[in-house]
Chain A
Amino acid sequence: MKKTLTTCPFCATGCMYYLQSDHDKFVGIEPSTVHSIAKGHPCVKGWNAFQFIHHPDRLTTPLIRKNGVLEAAGWEEALDLVVHTLPSLQARYGHDSIMFFSSARTTNEENYLFMKLARAVFKTNNVDHCARLCHSSSVLGLAATFGSGAMSNSISCVDEADTFFVIGSNTTENHPQIGARILQSVKRGAKLIVADSRTIRLAKAATLHLRHRNGSDVALINGMMHVIIRDGLENREFIESRTQNYEQLKNTVLRYPPSIVAEITGLTPQEIIDAAHLYATSPAAMIIYSVGITQHTHGVDNVRSLANLAMLTGHVGRPGTGVNPLRGQNNVQGACDMGALPNVFSGYQKVADEAVRQKFVNEWRVADLPAHAGLPMTRALNAAERGEIKGLYIVGEDPVISDPDQGHVRNALQQLDFLVVQDIFLTATAEYADVVLPAACFAEKDGTFTSTERRIQRVRKAALPIGGARADWEIFCEIASRAGYKYMHYNAPSEIMDEIARVTPIYGGISYSRIDQIGLQWPCLDEHHPGTPILHVGRFVGGMGCFCPAEYRPPAETPDAEYPFILTTGRSYFHYHTGSMTRRTRLLEREENRSYVEINPVDAHRLGIRDRDFVMVATRRGEIVMSARMTKDITPGVLFITFHFEESPGNLLTNNALDPESHIPEYKVCAARITRKP
């Protein structure tokens, strides 16, 4: 019996546990009891994370499309085809006619190599990953206000906060360890404000539950700031010493008195006043949010507003405070850090910056690197639909299930001349591929993941990859070398991390020997730096904090006579994203094996819908059939669906309207109608 310490491949909380294997077969999980987050109790997904690893559906050999059918092929043939086809497309249609979708599921080392592959070998900045779909708004919104897009505090700060403002995060379901910790703090006496139209588990323990209208977040937060300034609860000293642009904020929020905000949000003026007072008068108040804030056409505005609120009251840079975006995927923080983004290298160093480019030119030993920003992935799919992107290399991502407006995604993929998909299972997206490359999963390779609290933690190889699968980093190195690039050769992922540390200031002090038992939190500037549990202490990462006031804008699509409901989406506790892993996990699939829509009994009775009835949910994009789940936890007029189920994919319905700055789609609000299926 072998026990291998590794990091959980599901959400970004970053629990560590031991994978138990017996003769290269995975047989169980044993929690780490000393790990600072997991503390001996993974969530239900963590406890079951060993099961999908050797699922018979795992891809074990490369596949190549021949006569329209994907057929098993050798690695030689598959890699040659990739290395031959991508440059030939570039030769014909230009360097930026190909696009690289990196993966928040793979390791830091792999993300770094993939962006190196795109930039150094294929000379394009067209590289992006699914952070575009979850926290691109945070990266932009927090960078503009605080100077850094990451979670400002640590998970352990939950134990030190006096008040929580949780908005757009169903924390107990999606980041169970953090949610549980909030519940524990509340039991000890901390106050909890939950802003969510659904009565999520946290709402049941909340001091104040604000069921504001979906998409009215900016108005709500502006309203709270209005009250804070009106009642003189702002932190004058903090504002004067640490921030700029206060007057502009003041002028903006002046236009959001509780009476007007109440109308926009559907709350009572008193609820807004209570929330403002509770948050502002608390010694240490912590804002926790997730994609309920970011996935809007006004996602960046939402994030800025939260940052404004924190600065207004001085709840930044201390234990138990801060603005804390909870990242959704195991390594979405790391994929951003590694520069799998169209405009920055690793460590958020801008590609437009000549000096930065020169540094990478030297390290990577190339003649030059492209200087203009590449395409974000949402725009790239639009461009593919228009025929401007011809080749796409997707790693560990299933846009057919995870991107909004499935019809549009399928159409875009069909337009491509060449699609490479590298994954552990044959996903819905892989079915469009010309070449499928079988990858090793988290348990079959070494590397690091960076958790939501910026903690870089080890992932360890507990068994050899199944069948002919290979680790992603090995595949990238092989492609680079076949493409004639000589400087992508490593004996082990630790060497990749050494290179990352050399060129990435915030990872400057990271090495495998330092993070052997417990990870470090970036910024970790050099080998003696202890890491940074709390950002913005005494000084914002960007110097002065900058108030960036935002005006309320309604969502792109609002209910009307034809589509009278607001449709919002989210995750189930038992499933993870596109379900490729959790739906192949016995107990999780047993728990929930089909798509459902939550509907308030008032609406259901009016439409003659009973619990567990099959219903048709339709939007302007399409319609799907699922089973109805009646619950008072959801507000009348709102429907909630998940997107894990390929058979009735939630994202067939969602709206591909994008935030103008972050290009994030508005998953969280669109107009829908629901009818009982006869």
Chain B
Amino acid sequence: MLNLGDTIAMSVKGLVQHRLRTLLSTLGIIFGVAAVISMMSVGEGARRAAIAQIKLLGTNNIRIRELPLAGKELEKAGPRYGRGLTHDDASLLRQGIPVRSVTFAPLKISAADVRHGGRQGGANVIGTSPEYAAITDFRVAAGRFLSPLDLADNKTVCVLGAEIKEELFGRGDAIDAELRIGDGWYTVVGVMEPKQLYQGKTPILKLRNINRDVYVPINTALWRFPAGRDPFAINEIAIRVADERNILDVVRLAREVLDRQHRGVGDYEIIIPEELLAQARETQRLFNMVIGAIAGISLVVGGIGIMNIMLANVSERTREIGVRRAIGARQKDIMLQFLIETVLVCLAGGVIGILLGFAMGGLISLYAKWETAFSLAGVLAAFGTAAAVGIVFGLFPARRAARLDPVQALRL
């Protein structure tokens, strides 16, 4: 009996006979697959960037951020309210949320220059409490993070982010060094580990460069960096909920406490990374569905093009089919030969399409500076679909070839 290897060899011979025609017939598949692969790489890149950003906030975390009011809203709120977040809010939340294992840290963020010796650099000065390191999973590389004692005594100590430390001290030791932040002198007690940042073009959240953070005790920051509008104004409250099932309860309680305190003025927002993550996933799912639909259409169109060519191929090779039948090919041998020809055309189109898609994805990240990433699943899906298109659209021409009456085929 005829073996599969010989059949495939036959099919390849059948194809190379009309190289140009074969190539043209695969264009539909090529561009369909290339479009899908490149779009998926953009989508996958965006998804990874989003997840990385959200993870940086911590998925078990809640962030409460000030939301500055403007114009009419500010007028409506009146002078006493609409002040944004204050240090009092943080204390009230701490008392008002009786859920276990919830940690709070206020954040007061100011921009300031940091100077040491002849060097200086711009930094985000973050007034916060010792809990902040635990909430964000940030770790010190040397020394220690802020302590409760630093807070209680309004000490002028600071912990440097990896990048700012590098700028001021190079590879040297920074611990116990004295440096100037704004107008005051501070003692360095710790240096943070560097954190990997994703700075794609499609950020879900605006994140500051945390490697340029300089952490000081919150009370020190309130005193040394007055914001003008309110001496106790802070920018953010970070909350970590140990058990993620409690997140929504904590959010509800936090909202109650703050609304009471702020008289219902919406001058803050609550950000739940977990929810953002879900949103990102949902967006991704929609994106994938749209891509899938485009891919489906282009592959069907491509498949019809290939079927057309294969039908022409079969009628052109009627005599060959007659000869093959006369010398002993069974219907299924003919069928398999032409089916494999179609599948090979589609697979070749799929491979070229995947490579083209990679190239397009590469160009997109090169020129548009978008994150792109290639998923193996996408490549496998493209390949599998190309093969499936070959089988589906190859079946009809192959059947037509196999059903030819040998006597009729030879007479032509």
* A in complex with B: no
